Amino acid sequence: MTGPALPSGVGLGWRPDIAGFVAELPGLGFTEVIAESVHLDHPSRHLLELRDRGVPVVPHGVRLSLGGAEPVADERVAHLAACAAALGAPLVSEHIAFVRAGGIEAGHLLPVPRTRAALKVLAANIRRTQDGLPVPLAVEPIAALFDWPDAEYEEGDFLTELVERTGVLLLLDVANVYANARNRGADPAALLDRVPLERVAYCHVAGGAESGGRYHDTHTAPVPAEVLDLIKELCARRGPPGLLLERDGHYPPAAELRAELDAIAAAAGLAAVT
């Protein structure tokens, strides 16, 4: 892919609880911070130190509601833009999802119906966001516990048309691909053959857990072998992208976390992080 410099190597999501650990990783390729957690008047010194060391820091939004019926809020786009400027980010990312409707906050990332009408609204919100950003935007298909009825697209075709309409990049969450396929009774590798992999800016990797007959993308468990195998499938199709491990709570001992990062690197044929 030509264009902007994209994250590479293996990264780890920055969280305050593991800020010191992230900062000490010798082979850290990049990191990502939840954009809404960044206080622009006093950003974390750990993030600024990483930036100054030349480690790419990607702001990752969770509240923009790109898939909502209402236009995205200018002030939320402005915050993403300011985060990108403050952190020297190569790009920013958000979700293909909605989080509010009619003034009601859902508190969760909710899936967008795969219909022509929803695609039109989503594309308009993405273009509005792109116009307010100083760097490219990558959007992430979420892990969804249900699909809306009367879909007019398969997921891969929906993403392909979205990219064609907007020129947006994709943040492909390999764990989400696995979770959705498992819950739908489908082959996760089959989606990789339908997604425009040349537009993938970087990838997420995470672990999950079975509960109530469904697989949940929890970010609190080790990356399963099936997701590591899917990384191999992805890399065989397009070469290794940047791969970022997401962990949110229930952090294991440092040695286990290092081993998990190195397992991701090994699956992609990349140099060890630690």
Tell me how far CA of residue 272 lies from CA of 123, 224, 251, 260, in angstroms.
Answer: 38, 18, 20, 10
Q: What Cα–Cα distance (Å) separates residue 6 from each residue in 9, 55, 170, 234, 246?
A: 10, 12, 11, 17, 18
Domains of the chain: 10-268 (3.20.20.150)
pLDDT of residue 3: 60
- For residue 116, give the H/E element and its range: helix 116-131
For the chain, give the mean pLDDT: 95
Per-state percent for the chain, helix, strand, coil, to nearest 5: 40, 20, 40
pLDDT exceeds cutoff 70 at 4: no
How many whole angstroms separate alpha carbon 53 and alpha carbon 50? 5
* H helices, E strands: number in the chain: 9, 12
Which of 45-49, 106-110, 138-142, 183-187 has the least mean pLDDT? 106-110
- Measured CA to CA, the distance from residue 173 to residue 155 in angstroms comes to 14
* pLDDT > 90? residue 11: yes
Over range 30-57, report the average pLDDT: 96
pLDDT digits (tens, 9 = 90+) for 142-169: 999 888 999 999 999 999 999 999 999 9
Mode of pairing for the β-strands spanning 10-13 and 31-34: parallel
pTM over 0.75, yes/no: yes
pLDDT digits (tens, 9 = 90+) for 190-205: 999 999 999 999 999 9
Q: How far apart are CA 61 and CA 194, in angstroms?
A: 26
Contact 38, 59 (CB under 8 A): yes
Which tens digit of pLDDT belongs to each residue from 85-115?
A: 999 999 999 999 999 988 888 888 999 999 9
- Report pLDDT for 1: 44
User: In this prediction, what percent of the chain has a pLDDT beyond 90?
Assistant: 91
- pLDDT (tens digit, 9 = 90+) per residue, 254-274? 999 999 999 999 999 999 998
pLDDT of residue 74: 97
